[in-house]
Amino acid sequence: MLDTSAYSAFMRGHEALTIALQEVDEITVNPVILGELRAGFLQGRHRSKNERELGLFLASPRIRVVPVDEETAVRYAVIVTVLRKAGTPIPTNDVWIAASAMQHGIGVFTTDPHYEKVPQVIVERFPVS
């Protein structure tokens, strides 16, 4: 699953992330990620360009948009509970993204270190400088 931060880094030409994305058979996103991206586009100066690039990205046969559904919600509840008990909460949208990755048995590509607090999900973090 390509987290919002990783999509942004990829679009800015992050070399290691670009290589990693070229090596996977499928890239998954969910409506939470798309909502975060589009909210950013609305607040930015390059909305049309960003929307066009996202459209091209989503048109690739390697991209799969998975739904957020009741099963995702069950996994969300598990992750929130574990993180709260550990005293390590993360942003709500990122819990939804992690829950979706958990549901589909896939890892998360991200630039955000807080995903590493989610023991139920495999995370590959790509630091940005």
CB 100 within 8 Å of CB 32: yes
The distance in angstroms from the start CA to the end CA of the chain is 22
> How many Cβ atoms from other residues are within 10 Å of residue 64's Cβ?
15
pLDDT for 19 equals 96
Going by their DSSP bridges, the two strands 63-65 and 27-29 should be labelled as parallel
Q: Is the pLDDT of residue 129 over 80?
A: no
Inter-helix orientation angle 70-86/92-104, to 10°: 120
> For the segment 22-75, what is each residue's pLDDT rounded down to a tens digit?
999 999 999 999 999 999 999 999 999 999 999 999 999 999 999 999 999 999
Which residue in 37, 10, 14 sits closest to 93, CA to CA? 37
pTM (predicted TM-score): 0.94
Average pLDDT over residues 90-98: 97
Average pLDDT over residues 17-24: 96
Q: Which CATH class is domain 4-125?
A: alpha beta
Domain edges within the chain? 4-125
Distance CA 10, CA 92 (A): 23
